Each structure stands twice: as structure tokens, then as C-alpha cells.
Structure 1
């Protein structure tokens, strides 16, 4: 198992799961009261009038149906989707050998940005070198088109529906900027190290066409660990690993 000492939790995902768990508990308690009450009411009504019992049964069924509906959380759906993708990729990265170090949710100092920080989904350091992993959690059929600002993305709205053509921003410039920022930060701190980027499409319902044509690797989540291990060895200075530990999110 990979070295995860610098891995931190995802608070939005944790809050989402806690809220859903609490809603399940409350829903179970409501149903424990509502279902017996509905049965008793219908049975009592049946003793007086069959039509009344049928009407009450219909009303009770509607009430129970709405009480049984799953709830939602206060976490923004768009933000939650991104976090869920990162959490899924983290599980794959954990399968790496123990000589691979993982950092997630990295806030990298970057003076070229107005806020002074650049967010990186993952940094992985190991026998094959230094990696920056950018995660996208978008479903559909993605076509890689090198050099284009956007890549075509086909999605289906539902079972049997025709695909809707959309597009996602080309993630290569973003990932490349992250790689350059990490190398620059290390150099400022007296360490010269080359990093490489990899883009991971984390959604389980994703297909990629022409992935090999991309300027950097574009993978599905189950390909990531194997890809990182298959690359030629690159030696990292111990000082680089020590510096990376300083990037641990607060």
C-alpha cells in the first residue's frame, strides 16, 4: 500500500455522507410510525366502509412513498461530483507500492496567481519520479483533440435517448501549468526536479477516444496506478520528498 501519511480527508464528502446517514435514520423512524398507523387506519376504515378504506389506502400509500424518498445534502452537487472523483482516484492510488508517496488537496504557493496559491488534486512521488495528477469527474464519451480549447463530449440524458453533444475544456493547459508551478516551487526551495502530468477521467461512465494523441497521458481511473508504475525509473532526491511534506494541507 502506498505511503498515505500526508493524505487528508475530504470535508464536503464527509459532510455529505453524514447528512445522508442522518436522513436515513430519521426516515426509518418516520416509517416505523407511519406504516403501522396507515395499516391500522385502513383496517379501521374497512370496518365502516370499503370505499373509505380504499381512499385511505391510496392516501396512505402516497404519504409513505414521500416519507421513503431519499434526502439530499447541503453540499453543492457540482463540488460534490469533483470531490467524489478525487476520492475514487485516491482509492486507486492507495494500491501503489509503499515506496510511492501521495499528497492530495495540495495548495501550492504560486506567485503568478492573484490569490498566491494553485490547487493540485494529487502529487505522487515514487520510483518513477514526480507526478501531478489532475482529476476530472465527467461522464460521457470524450474525444481527445490536441491543441483545441475544447474536447467534444457526448452524453446520454437517459436510457434509449440520443446522445447530446457538449464539450469540456481541454485540461492539458491546466495540468501543464500545475506541473510547471510545482517545478518552480521546488526550484525556489533549492531543489531541481522534473515533474510529469497525467489527467484522469474518474467517472465510471466515461469512454475516451484518441487518448494516445494527447500531449500528456489521459487515462480512466483504473489505468492510473499501472501507468505510474510502468514508466522508466527516475531518481528523486530525498530533499525533494522532505519539501513535499511541507505541502501537507492544513
Structure 2
């Protein structure tokens, strides 16, 4: 099966489809950026007219100049969400290599939770929570501490992808206590960008490159039979929602 055909088949059976949430947020920040650009432009025009017509001090233009940072912020947020979309779609293509014994949920929101889980995979080898990151360049991970090198300097990440994966796995494990099948939930950090260069030392969570994801999940020792997989997938589908 060709990769494009595989991908279409995978997307057809994957609960949640593409990253609707990320696309929605990208559109929202695009709209906010455009509206704020228009507001700043109108304010600048009003200030300029007031300065020319009433001989007011040029310092009046400081207001629109300062406010120009607002659309810049919105455009940066938009870029971040669009970057995330590319990462999620890259992981979706990687997961297309899994056979039809696996069930995949994308953008899963558990009851009472505010945020979503990037991907949940249910298969013969167990249940996995995938935390996807589209980082590029040099990345280091020691335990649950992560850092990136930018402009030649290593800087610690404020939010640890490993910690995010662990927290989401705990939330999902607690949620699955209501299911008839008892199974541990494993957290995994997936690096979606092929340009990422990772250095790991005793990582708190397994870190997998996108290209190795399907094979790493497929080789796990079987824990669940077809009935278990179906029961877990149906429980998730009926009791949780998709962003």
C-alpha cells in the first residue's frame, strides 16, 4: 500500500481526523492579528491627523507604535499553531504504518479536562499517550528536564514535554479505571521534525523520532487481545470527546 493511500486509509479510521483544534486556533489568531492591524492603522492615522491639524506633539504617535506589538504577538501565536499542525500531520502519516489492530484517537479531551491529548494509541502492545513536538535543531533531555539550543546557547524549556506526557498518561489511566479492561498507560514523546537532533540521558519518558514511531509500538509484547482493544476504544469513544 502506497504511503498516500495508507495515510488516507488511516485518517478514515482514526477517531478525530485531522487537527481541527489547531486549525481553529490558527484561524482565530489570524483574525485577531488582522483586526488588531486594522485598529493600529486607524489609530495611527487619527493620531497623525490630530498632530497635523492641531499642532499636537509627535509623541502622540507613541500609542500606535507601542500597540503595534499586539498584532505581532497574534501572528507569532498563529505561526506556532500552524507549526503544530504540520507536526501533528507528520505524526499521523507515521501512524498510518500501524496495522488495523490499532485504534488511534487524535485531539482527545477527557471529561473535566481543559486541554487535549495529541494522540492516544490502543493496540496489542497496550495503550500509549503521545505528546507530539515539532522541534527542530539541537534538543537535550535529562530526566524530565528539556533544553533547546538557540543562537548557540542552551536554554531550558519552561514546559517539559516529558512531564506533559506523564501528566496526560496519568489522566488517561484514571479515566480508564471505568473500563472493564485493566491496562497500564505509557507516555511517549514523539519528535515530528526530521531535522531535530536529540541528546537523551536517562529520559523520564521514552523519546521517539517520527520515523521510528510505528515500529517501536508494533514490536511491543502483546498485552491486549482484539476484544480488549475494542472495549477500550469504545469506552474512550463514548465517554470522551474530540477537540
RMSD: 2.7
Q: Given the alignment, which residue of 99, 110, 121 partners 2:101?
A: 99
- Cross-structure match for 2:148: 153
Q: Which has the larger radius of gyration?
A: 1
- Cross-structure match for 2:178: 188
Structure 1 residue runs of 5 or longer lacking an equivalent are 18-72, 111-115, 157-162
Higher mean alpha-carbon deviation, 218-227 vs 240-249, is at 240-249
Rate the CA distance shift 1:204–1:228 in 2: closer, same or farther, 3 A. Answer: same
Count of residues in Structure 1 that have an aligned counterpart in Structure 2: 181
Q: Given the alignment, which residue of 160, 167, 182 partners 1:170?
A: 160
Q: What SS class does the counterpart of residue 199 from structure 1 fall into?
A: strand
Structure 2 residue runs of 5 or longer lacking an equivalent are 1-5, 28-74
Rate the CA distance shift 1:244–1:140 in 2: closer, same or farther, 3 A. Answer: same
Q: Do the aligned residues in 1 keep the contact of 2:25 with 2:81 (CA within 8 Å)?
A: no
1:104-149 per-position Cα deviation (integer Å, ceiling 9, x unaligned): 0111124xxxxx334100000111111110001111111111143x
Q: Do the aligned residues in 2 keep the contact of 1:135 with 1:201 (CA within 8 Å)?
A: yes
Q: Given the alignment, which residue of 219, 229, 238 partners 2:218?
A: 229
Q: TM-score, normalised by structure 1?
A: 0.64
Mapped to 1, the partners of 2:195 and 2:140 lie a distance apart of 14
Q: CA offset at residue 167 of structure 1?
A: 2.8
Structure 1: 4+ residue segments shifted above 3 A: 11-17, 188-191
Alignment of 1:36-75 (within 5 A): none
Q: Does 1:9 align with 2:18?
A: yes
Q: TM-score, normalised by structure 2?
A: 0.66
Rate the CA distance shift 1:74–1:139 in 2: closer, same or farther, 3 A. Answer: closer
